[in-house]
Amino acid sequence: MKKLLVLVVVLGAIAAFLYYPRGGATVSAANAATLAILNTAIEGSRSGASFAPALDGEVYKTGDLVRANIEGRAVLTFFDASTVSVDPGSQVKVIALNKVPGDGIQVTIQQDLGRSWSSVQKLKTPDSKWEMRTPSTTAVVRGTGFLTLVQANPTGGTTTTYQVDEGTLLVTATAGGTVSVPAGSQVSIADGATAPAAPTPIAPSPRIEITSDAGLNFLAISPSGASCGPFGRKSEIFGCVLTANKITVRDPSPGRWGLFLTMGNASTPTLTVETFTGTTRIGGAAFSRRFNANDEVRTGITLSAGAPQVLSTFEDAVLVTSLCGAIAPGRSFASGALDARIGAARAFAVANKAEAISLVYTEAEINQAASASPPTGQGFTVSEARVTIDQAGIHAVAKATTQILTLNANADLIGGTVGDKFTLLFSRLSADPLPPGLVDALKAVAEGGSATFADQVPFLVRQVSFRSGCFFVAGVTPS
């Protein structure tokens, strides 16, 4: 299993060019938006093409669409770290996306239906621009956290509602008029209606606040799989406002909230979770433990449904070796030899029906495996193989040597689920021309290895997620 995984990942760097025309244009995450899928029901359309199942790590540019089906959730992360989170039944289109000098960004998003949460970084240049368009409005943003809801009216047309949790939104109605919407307020505008003279306050609602001591870095993962916290400066959760050591989430979803904690130095910090309704504190819980330098810890807490929302006690803390090990859902197989890990997952799947499960891999262990047992094939050897993993997927470099040729190659790989199976595809490539015989050998290894690895994952795959330094494959064991 170890050699199989290494072959699939590393040889993708060499064989990737077989799947794409040489010299074709590629899209880099450095000037596009990267898609993270929180479950499988997400589709993408590129440059007007038909919708097709989307993959985690795909990049989207001007003219591309993302559509969430009835259970679909996804997050688009732009190159300036701004994000747009998309709820089930929603559709957003990247009307324009450009990088301008001085690390500036120009973005126009079209949302025709559904609900989204936008967390927009403060714009860095005067010519930067961020717009959200709906059938009845255009909203201009300069560093804001806001919800956009586009609902179909019973008599036809739509109504757009904006709720602002951070910053200020300038909303212009298509039929005329502009209204400024500051934090804590909202506005609704129907098709054909002009903008109101002023916004209205957002009604008091439940919220959750998570606060850490200085130096304790954390990331909270909501029941939907979205994340928010100082670690990685993520703000994907609907209604989440992030400061240096605190997050505030309006209308938090009931269920389990996962927590990833890390500390750069040895200390005994405290993390506090509190619930409120309006200004009234409902309850709280505190987590404290001894951290050694650079410890990474997984825990969690459950928020009840109903009103008022009640917090459980914290789950027992578990040391993990990566962010993926902390956030992967269900029974997580994230340690031990690569060869044994999938076997342990298979044994669990046999004994536990319809249970959440995940397999976790880190770039460090893949690189270690590649170094200890370099991949080989028919007539070639692979050396200097190395992978890095981030939100945009797996990035692999390798050198392939035959008796007549040495090839330096690199590629980007993205992943997802097709027919409830894990799959890896190649999104970018760079390789010198290869002789036909070596091309055929590498193609056979890459295609066969990928299919064989997918067949050995012992559960129905629902999510593939790439994070900094790791990735996980998650799903449900067969019933």
* pLDDT, tens digit only, all 479 positions of the chain: 444 444 445 444 433 333 333 333 344 555 678 888 887 678 888 888 888 888 888 888 888 889 887 778 899 999 888 999 999 889 899 999 988 888 889 999 999 999 999 999 988 888 899 999 999 999 999 789 999 999 999 999 999 999 999 999 999 999 999 999 999 999 999 999 999 999 999 999 999 999 999 999 999 999 988 999 999 888 999 999 999 999 999 999 999 999 999 999 999 999 999 999 988 999 999 999 999 999 999 999 999 998 889 999 999 999 999 999 999 988 999 988 887 888 899 999 999 999 999 999 999 988 888 777 766 655 567 778 888 999 888 888 877 776 766 777 777 788 888 778 888 777 766 655 554 455 445 545 555 556 666 778 899 998 899 998 999 999 999 98
Q: What is the DSSP string of 125-171?
A: STT-EEEEEETTEEEEESS-EEEEEEEE-TTSSEEEEEEEEESEEEE
Owner of token pair 């989430």: 249
State the pLDDT at residue 33: 86
d(CA 259, CA 240): 15
Considering the domain 29-201, what is its CATH architecture? Sandwich (2.60)
Q: What is the CA radius of gyration of the chain?
A: 23
Element (H, E) at 107: strand 104-119
Element (H, E) at 225: none
Q: What is the DSSP string of 371-439?
A: HHS--EETTEEEEEEEEEEETTEEEEEEEEE-SS-EEEEEEEEEEEEETTEEEEEEEEEEE----HHHH
State the pLDDT at residue 439: 46
Helix (H, G, I), strand (E, B), or coil: what is residue 211? strand
pTM: 0.84
**Across-strand partners of 85?**
75, 117
d(CA 241, CA 60): 25
d(CA 449, CA 445): 6
- Dihedral, CA of residue 54, residue 442, residue 453 and residue 469, to nearest 10: -70
d(CA 433, CA 297): 46
Which of 116, 88, 98, 119 is closest to 33 using CA atoms? 98
* Residue 310 CA neighbour count, 13 Å, CB half: 3
State the pLDDT at residue 40: 67
How many Å is the maximal CA-CA distance in the chain? 76
d(CA 461, CA 477): 9
Domain ranges of the chain: 29-201, 206-317, 354-476
State the pLDDT at residue 101: 85
d(CA 128, CA 141): 10
- Asked if 463 and 75 count as a contact pair (C-beta separation under 8 A), the reply is no
Which of 98, 96, 92 is closest to 110 using CA atoms? 92
- Cβ atoms within 10 Å of 289's Cβ, excluding its own: 15
* Residue 62 CA neighbour count, 13 Å, CB half: 9
Q: Is the domain defined by 206-317 classed in CATH 1.10.150?
A: no
| Residue 16 main-chain phi, psi, to 5 deg | -55, -40
State the pLDDT at residue 376: 60
State the pLDDT at residue 413: 80
Q: Which residues of 74-107 are buried (b: 16+ CB within 10 A; e: fewer)?
A: bbbbbbbebbbbbbbebbbbbeebebeeeebbbb
State the pLDDT at residue 16: 34
State the pLDDT at residue 419: 79
State the pLDDT at residue 392: 86
| Distance, C-alpha 87 to centroid of its chain | 13
Q: State the angle between helix axes of 363-372 and 338-351 in degrees (0 to 180), rounded to the nearest 10.
A: 120
* Residue 307 CA neighbour count, 13 Å, CB half: 9
